[in-house]
């Protein structure tokens, strides 16, 4: 008869008996480990909101960057590096706004969170309205490509040869050799003449 079988059948000569004092030592070790962990965790609880905010910002930023790269990669492959970078930056800017609004709402909690998140979203929206408008218009120019580098254009009250196209500005060189930065929103909202 095996020791395990002897124990199952109610005892006998080969019945297993745990060493004396072993469960007691294991219990003391687990209690000591629990107290050690509690000693580390208790001070952290004083800063729980700060730690939560930092972790949310860190992982949120990683997600925003990954999402922006995933969205921008096919654009960069099809339209060029400048268009991909513009789309990536626009996605990151929008992601930061969403992240800040979500954090503001989460910190306050309840209906106040919704109101605060909405208010912060509104403030961010008004504060970045012009910048976002420029970025969106520039992204449109980079994707639609109504003109390219080297084209001579007339638009937004300016005439010159296109030297660079970015998300915020289009750089042209006028007849006198001056470098002119035209905001993307001006070019999108104006009639453009492309001279050959």
pLDDT tens-digit readout, 98-114: 887 777 766 666 676 66
Mean pLDDT value across residues 61-77: 88
Give the CA diameter of the chain.
Answer: 109
Token output for 110: 């309840």
Neighbours of 100 (CB within 10 A): 17
Domain layout of the chain by residue ranges = 47-143, 149-195
Question: So what's the pLDDT on residue 22?
Answer: 56
CATH architecture of 149-195: Roll (2.30)
Distance in Å from the first CA to the final CA of the chain: 101
3-state helix, strand, coil in the chain (%, to 5): 65, 15, 20
- Name the helix (H) or strand (E) containing 136: helix 129-144
The yes-or-no verdict on residue 121 having pLDDT over 50 is yes
How far is it, in rounded angstroms, from Cα 112 to Cα 108? 6
Binned at pLDDT 50, 70 and 90, residue 162 comes out as: very high
Query: How far is the C-alpha of 110 from the C-alpha of 75, rounded, in Å?
Result: 39
Residue with the larger pLDDT of the pair 68 and 47 = 68
SS3 45: helix
What phi and psi, each to the nearest 5 degrees, are found at residue 193? Answer: -115, 125
Q: In the predicted model, what is the mean pLDDT of residues 16-30?
A: 60
**pLDDT at res. 153:** 92
Residue 50 has pLDDT above 70, yes or no: yes
Question: Which one is predicted more confidently, 24 or 1?
Answer: 24
Looking at per-residue pLDDT, the higher value among 58 and 5 belongs to: 58
Q: Which of 36-40, 61-65, 99-103, 192-196 has the highest mean pLDDT?
A: 61-65
Which pLDDT belongs to residue 195? 86
Compute the mean pLDDT over every residue in the chain, rounded to the nearest whole number.
Answer: 79
- CA separation for the pair 194, 196 (Å, rounded): 7
Task: Look at phi and psi of residue 12 and say left if phi exceeds 0, alpha if psi is from -120 to 50, else beta.
Answer: left
Query: Could you tell me which residue, 104 or 2, shows the higher pLDDT?
Result: 104
Q: H or E element: which one contains 76?
A: helix 48-79
Place 178 in a pLDDT band, splitting at 50, 70 and 90: very high
């Amino acid at each position: 008869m095996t020791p395990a079988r002897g124990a199952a059948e109610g005892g006998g000569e080969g019945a297993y008996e745990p060493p004396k004092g072993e469960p007691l030592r294991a219990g003391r070790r687990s209690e000591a480990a629990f107290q050690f962990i509690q000693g580390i965790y208790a001070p952290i609880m004083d800063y729980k909101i700060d730690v939560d905010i930092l972790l949310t910002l860190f992982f949120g930023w990683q997600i925003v960057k990954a999402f922006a790269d995933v969205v921008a990669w096919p654009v960069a492959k099809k339209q060029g590096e400048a268009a991909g970078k513009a789309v990536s930056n626009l996605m990151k800017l929008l992601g930061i706004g969403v992240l800040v609004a979500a954090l503001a709402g989460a910190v306050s909690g309840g209906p106040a969170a919704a109101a605060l998140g909405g208010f912060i979203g509104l403030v961010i929206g008004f504060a970045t309205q012009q910048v976002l408008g420029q970025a969106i218009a520039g992204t449109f120019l980079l994707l639609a490509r109504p003109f390219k580098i080297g084209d001579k254009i007339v638009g937004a009250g300016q005439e010159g040869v296109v030297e660079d196209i970015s998300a915020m500005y289009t750089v042209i060189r006028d007849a006198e050799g001056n470098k002119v930065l035209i905001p993307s929103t001006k070019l999108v909202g104006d009639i453009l003449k492309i001279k050959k």
